[in-house]
């Protein structure tokens, strides 16, 4: 397990790749984001996307999976109070290869719960052409190895 003490401000890791097929994108969209451009090439043909594109929420879910399972050891995560500045910068298309670059931006021990620290991660998800498709800042609650 990677604990609070194992993370230093400035640490950066690249996680991935991961991808989603057209069928996976459509299944996600049918369940969670049924906009026409997420459901078919035909529905996307006359839009900004031009063809089937992943829901931004699907891209966020793929990135979250990389953040939780993409390391040799898992983070000692205790959840998250939220994130900021979520931006979907470019479309994600079927079978794009996505890599998440995660940087520790700040960290501090929780005043009210000394068994954990709060770590801010700056996250950029890039495609196979090194184009940023999504970015956000996440605050994570990470268990301390030696609380208090």
24-71 per-position pLDDT tens digit = 999 999 999 999 999 999 999 999 999 999 999 999 999 999 999 888
Sign of CA dihedral 37, 133, 17, 74: negative
- Contact (CB, 8 A) for 122 and 85: no
Chain centroid, CA 108 distance in Å: 22
DSSP string, 86-99: EEE-S---TT--EE
3-state SS assignment for residue 117: strand
Rounded to two decimals, the pTM is 0.93
75-103 pLDDT, tens per residue? 999 999 999 999 999 999 999 999 999 99
């Amino acid at each position: 397990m990677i604990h609070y003490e194992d993370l230093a401000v400035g640490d950066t890791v690249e996680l991935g790749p991961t991808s989603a097929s057209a069928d996976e994108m459509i299944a996600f969209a049918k369940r969670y984001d049924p906009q026409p451009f997420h459901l078919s090439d035909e529905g996307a043909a006359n839009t900004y996307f031009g063809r089937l594109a992943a829901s931004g929420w699907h891209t966020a879910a793929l990135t979250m999976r990389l953040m939780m399972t993409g390391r040799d050891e898992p983070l000692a995560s205790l959840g998250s109070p939220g994130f900021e500045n979520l931006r979907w910068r470019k479309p994600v298309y079927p079978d794009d290869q996505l890599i998440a670059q995660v940087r520790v931006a700040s960290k501090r021990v929780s005043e009210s719960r000394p068994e954990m620290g709060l770590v801010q991660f700056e996250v950029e998800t890039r495609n196979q052409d090194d184009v940023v498709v999504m970015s956000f800042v996440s605050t994570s609650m990470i268990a301390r190895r030696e609380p208090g």
